[in-house]
Structure 1
Amino acid sequence: MKRRHLILGGAAVATLGACGAPSKFKRYRGPEVTGVVVNKAERKMFLLSDSRVMKEYDVFLGFAPEGHKVMEGDGKTPEGVYRIDRRNPNSRFHLSLGISYPNAEDIRVATELGKSPGGEIFIHGQRHPMRKDSGDWTWGCIAVSNDEMENIYAMIKDGTPIAINP
């Protein structure tokens, strides 16, 4: 009888272990993402493989989306060409990919104004995992849904160029 309980108990533990929450870390085996384009006016982000659009996403931007980010706290999303330069699997916003803002020109302009250019600009997920965000709400980042962010995080490699257009 004890042997039967051990076998059934072991099977139950193995079965329950397989029932955990799905991982936020997905695998991607498709074509390489060679570039990202964000069109701020349209609130759209495109993942490209060479010149072909692979995916299109609706995005949220900084709470003051018009114009290029000039200084820390202005609520603007930068404009220009940058790179994805880091990953944050423990982001407050589900997952996030860092954007190489500020570049040398961004630093120069802010310094001439006696200001800090800011930094910590990311593509990231939602503020609240159970509620859908609405309107532009970030401090200059580019936000998508958490489900979309899981796919984007898997697809984009560090070093991928990102063009952020007005």
Structure 2
Amino acid sequence: MKRRHLILGGAAVATLGACSPSKFKRYNGPEVTGVVVNKGERKMYLLHKDRVLKDYDIFLGFAPEGHKQVEGDGKTPEGNYRIDRRNPNSRFHLSLGISYPNAEDIRVARALGKSPGGEIFIHGQRHPMRLDKGDWTWGCIAVNNKQMERIYAMVKDGTPISINP
């Protein structure tokens, strides 16, 4: 009987050891009080007050110049928003929702007779085994999956995000 338990216990340990680590990380550092994205630099900064905690190289919408005005234009919005939701089951590993469109975005799009779009996120890679190159999203802000795990742990819902040209 003891031999059977030893074999089963060894098999369980080997199986658990083969499992991939969780994509959900813990963060116990200073609170992220703001996120700043500088589209022209392709950089995102996580801030605690006026101090940069972490910075990341980013990918943007496939038409990165200018502010998003309508659905499908491939642009990443510019302006002041908030992180307003989390998606632990995103097609792009993990994602944090951005509160686009705001009232002004909706007004501008309606004046053009169009929808402003939505579903703008900070997210991970589209293909986990390949590194993305160039701006490829439909208006989102993308980083690699390992970076997204850290960002997801650090940035809480309600955090302000400023997206600059």
Taking structure 2 as the reference length, the TM-score comes to 0.97
Structure 2 unaligned residues grouped into runs of 5+: none
Aligned pairs for 1:103-142 within 5 A: 103-142=102-141
Identity of counterpart residues, as a percentage?
76
For residues 13 and 60 of structure 1, the distance between their equivalents in structure 2, rounded to whole angstroms, comes to 41
Shift of 1:15: 4.3
The AA in structure 1 aligned to 2:64 is P
**Structure 1: 5+ residue stretches without partners:** none
For 1:149, the aligned partner's letter is: M
Aligned partners of 2:52 and 2:58: how far apart in 1? 16
Counterpart of 2:41 in 1: which secondary structure?
A: coil
1:164 matched to 2:136? The reply is no
Task: Using the TM superposition, give the Cα deviation of residue 9 of structure 1 relative to its aligned residue in structure 2, in angstroms.
Answer: 1.8
Runs of 4+ in structure 1 off by over 4 angstroms are none
- Give, in whole Å, the separation in 2 of the partners of 1:141 and 1:13: 41
Deviation at 1:3, TM superposition (A): 2.7
Cα distance in 2 for partners of 1:27, 1:63 equals 32
**Mapping for residues 77-88 of structure 1, pairs under 5 Å:** 77-88=76-87
Amino acid at match of 2:38: N
**TM-score, reference length from structure 1:** 0.96
Per the alignment, residue 64 of structure 1 pairs with 63
Q: Is 2:15 aligned against 1:16?
A: yes
Comparing 150-159 with 7-16, greater Cα deviation is found at 7-16
CA offsets 1:18-74 (integer angstroms, 9 cap, x no match): 431100000001100000000000000000001000101000000000000000000
Match of 2:142 in 1: 143
Instruction: Give the deviation of 1:17 after TM superposition.
Output: 2.0
* Offset from partner CA, 1:88-127 (integer Å, 9 cap, x none): 0110111000000000000000001100000000000011
Matched positions, count: 165
Distance (Å, rounded) in 2 between the aligned partners of 1:139 and 1:14? 43
> Paired residue for 2:30?
31
